[in-house]
Amino acid sequence: LTLATKSGLGASAIISTPFAVFNAFQIPISVTTFCTYALMTLLQIFIKRKNFSWRDLLQLPLSLIFSSLLGWFSGLFSLQLTQLWQNVILMLIAIVLIGMGAAMMVDMRIVPQAPEGLAQAISEAMNWDLGLAKNLLDLCCVVMALLIDLLFSKKIISVGVGTIMAMLLVGRVIFVFNRYCKIPMCRLAGFVDANV
């Protein structure tokens, strides 16, 4: 996510909403990210209903750690890219890493970050593949960011070309990754039901 932001082409789709809130109200990005992730965790209760487990609530402390690390990593990297093609390549690398990371987190059945957990809940509720659910979630985040930008900042700040690229491509990376890597990876991890 930090690489996506550092590309200069816009924040990733998931981060676009907290970034819009940050721009509108000057609330620290780590706080807006945590609040967004907490809301995504709570939305899972309504989607999963009786299938929601207390284990899913572990996404809240994970979100707190993640949002803190996001600010730290952002300060750690200082890239000075001067050519548009360099920015596009960095954004594409970020998209691939985001998609692969999201897929691995869900496939390995560890506590996912809230966006991946919400995408997984949507996927299971609608009987869609995870990649399509992620595309839908990313679209919702980008629309929310645009609305917040236009209502409070009166101009589009939080959504750039890279944000649109991430919205369209992260879910597709998850789909391709799962198609070719999920079953072998789950078998290597020793899951008994690795054929699903």
Residue 140: the pLDDT is 96
The answer to whether 14 touches 163, Cβ cutoff 8 Å, is: no
Residue 50: the pLDDT is 87
3, 111, 138 from 176: Cα distances, Å: 21, 22, 17
Residue 3: the pLDDT is 77
Q: Collapse the DSSP code of 194 into the 3-class scheme (helix H, G, I; strand E, B; otherwise coil) and give the result.
A: coil
pLDDT tens digits, 16-30: 999 999 999 999 888
Q: Collapse the DSSP code of 160 into the 3-class scheme (helix H, G, I; strand E, B; otherwise coil) and give the result.
A: coil
Burial of 133 (0-12, 13-18, 19+ CB in 10 A): buried
The answer to whether 13 touches 167, Cβ cutoff 8 Å, is: yes
Which amino acid appears at position 182 of this protein?
K
Residue 141: the pLDDT is 96
Contacts of 148 (CB under 8 A, 6+ apart): 17, 20, 21, 24, 158
Low-confidence ranges of the chain (pLDDT < 50): none
* ∠ CA 12-189-105, rounded to 5°: 15
Residue 2: the pLDDT is 74
Which amino acid appears at position 132 of this protein?
L
Residue 74: the pLDDT is 67
CA atoms within 13 A on the CB side of 154: 0
Q: What span, in angstroms and rounded, lies between the C-alpha atoms of 87 and 11?
A: 12
Residue 10: the pLDDT is 82
- 0.75 surpassed by pTM: yes
Residue 175: the pLDDT is 94
